[in-house]
Amino acid sequence: MRNRASVLRIESALLGAVALSVSAGAMAQSSVTLYGIADAGVEFLTGAPNAAGKSSTLVREESGGVNSSRIGLRGSEDLGGGLKAIFVLEGGIDITSGKSLQGGRLFGRQAFVGLSGNYGALTLGRQRIPMYDYGARFDPIDYYTYGLKETDPQFAGRADNSVKYTGKFGSFSVEALYSTGYDSTIQNGSQVPGEFKVGREISAGGEYASGPFAAMVTYDLRNGASVETQGDKEQHLVVAASYTIGKAKGFVGYRWLSSTLPLDSGTQAHSNEYWGGLEYHVSAPFSVSGAAFWTDITSAGQRPLYLVASANYALSKRTSLYGEVGYVKNSHGSNLGVNGYDSDVVAGHNQTGAMMGIIHYF
Structural domain includes residue 287: yes
Structural domain includes residue 16: no
Q: How far apart are CA 105 and CA 102, in angstroms?
A: 6
Q: Which of 153, 138, 150, 158 is nearest to 207 (CA)?
A: 138
| Number of domains observed in the structure of the chain | 1
Residue 7, H or E segment: helix 2-27
The pTM assigned to this predicted structure is: 0.88
Structural domain includes residue 89: yes
CATH assignment at residue 97: 2.40.160.10
Structural domain includes residue 90: yes
Residue type for 136, please?
A
Helix, strand and coil content of the chain, in percent to the nearest 5, comes to: 10, 55, 35
Answer yes or no: are the C-beta atoms of 322 and 41 closer than 8 Å: yes
Structural domain includes residue 6: no
Domain that holds residue 66: 30-361
Q: How far apart are CA 292 and CA 148, in angstroms?
A: 9
Query: Could you read off the pLDDT tens digit of each residue along the chain, which spans 362 residues?
Result: 444 444 334 334 433 433 433 344 444 489 999 999 999 999 999 999 998 888 999 999 999 999 999 999 999 999 999 999 999 999 999 999 999 999 899 999 999 999 999 999 999 999 999 999 999 999 999 989 899 999 999 999 999 999 999 999 999 999 999 999 999 988 766 788 889 999 999 999 999 999 999 999 999 999 998 899 999 999 999 999 999 999 999 999 999 999 998 765 556 799 999 999 999 999 999 999 999 999 999 989 999 999 999 999 999 999 999 999 999 999 999 999 999 997 789 999 999 999 999 999 99
For residue 270, how many C-alpha atoms fall within 13 Å in the half-sphere facing its CB?
4
Q: How far apart are CA 46 and CA 346, in angstroms?
A: 10
Structural domain includes residue 295: yes
Answer yes or no: are the C-beta atoms of 325 and 144 closer than 8 Å: no
Q: How far apart are CA 154 and CA 168, in angstroms?
A: 23
Structural domain includes residue 12: no
Structural domain includes residue 24: no
